[in-house]
A = this chain, B = another copy of it.
Amino acid sequence: MNDENPRFFDLVGDVRAIRRLKPDPVRVEMIQQVLNAGVQAPSGQNLQPWAFVLVSDPERKKWFADRYAAAMESRFGLPINPGDRPEKHARGQLGAIFHQMDHLHEAPYLLFVCGKRDWPFKVPDAERVGLAPPNYGAVYPCVQNILLACRALGLGAALTTMHQVFEDELHEYFEIPEDYGVVVTIPIGYPEGRFGPVSRKPAESMTHHDRWGNTKQSPE
C-alpha cells in the first residue's frame, strides 16, 4: 500500500494511531487534500457544521504543547519531566504517549477539528458548562475521513482530546468563537516508525441477529 490513492479495504484496517512523528515539513497541499476528504462526510440537512484551525506557527504550537503536558500531568499524574518517569515507561503505548506529549510542538501541524454547537448553543447567561455540545454526529465522520486520508497519503495522525481540560484558554488564544467547540486535536506529520494493522475483535462477535443476544446467525 505505497501509492497515494490506496484501495479502501486495504486502507481501512491499517490506520493505527501514529504518535511518533518526524519534524520534517509537510506540504500544505497534502493537508488540504486531507481536509477535503474530511468534508465529504455526511451531516444532517448537509449543514457541514465543521471548521478547522490548522496550526503550524512554532510559538502557537509551543503554547498548545505546554498546556497539553500540564493537562496530562494534572489529570493522569504523568510527569512532564522525562527524568521523573520510570524507565519502563519509555516503551510500549505509554512510551508513545509520552513521546507525543514531549514532541507535540515539533509536529509540522496541529489540527483542531471544530464543530458547530447544536442550536440553541447557549442559554442566556449560562456558564460554559451550559453550552450545547458540538454536533458529534457530523464531526466524527469528518474526523474519520481525515484519519483515512492521512494514512492514504503516508501521513501519521492520532486523535487527542486532552485540550478539553483547557478549552476556555484555547478558545481565547486561537480566537475560536463560542458557538464552535473543539472536538479533537490531531497532530499530523510523517511517521517516525512504520504503519501497521490495528488489532480489533471481529465484528461477528458483536453482531446480534434480529434481536440482542442472538449472535449466532440464522440460516438464510
Interface residues in chain A, defined as those with a beta carbon under 8 Å from any beta carbon in chain B: 5-13, 15, 17, 28, 32-33, 35-42, 44, 46, 48, 50-57, 60, 136-137, 139-141, 143-145, 147-149, 152, 159, 161, 174-177, 183-184, 198-204, 206-213, 217, 220
Contact = CB atoms under 8 A, between A and B. Distances in A.
B9 A5 contact: yes
Chain A at the B interface: SS class = mixed
Which 3 A-B pairs give the minimum distances between C-beta atoms?
A140-B140, A35-B203, A141-B144
B147 A42 contact: yes
Nearest to A31: B207
A112 to B, nearest CB: 9
Given A8-B152, A36-B202, 19 more contacts: A5-B10, A12-B37, A12-B145, A13-B40, A17-B42, A35-B204, A35-B207, A39-B202, A48-B200, A48-B201, A53-B211, A56-B209, A136-B136, A141-B143, A141-B147, A174-B210, A174-B212, A175-B212, A176-B212
A44 B140 CA distance: 13
A149 B212 contact: no
Contacts of A199: 46
Contacts of A52: 203, 206-208
A9 B35 contact: no
A17 B137 CA distance: 15
B217 A28 contact: yes
Report which residue of A17, A28, A210 has the largest number of chain B beta carbons within 10 angstroms of its beta carbon: A210
B149 A8 contact: yes
A17 B141 CA distance: 14
Nearest to A41: B144
A207 to B, nearest CB: 5
Nearest to A177: B212
A56 B214 CA distance: 13
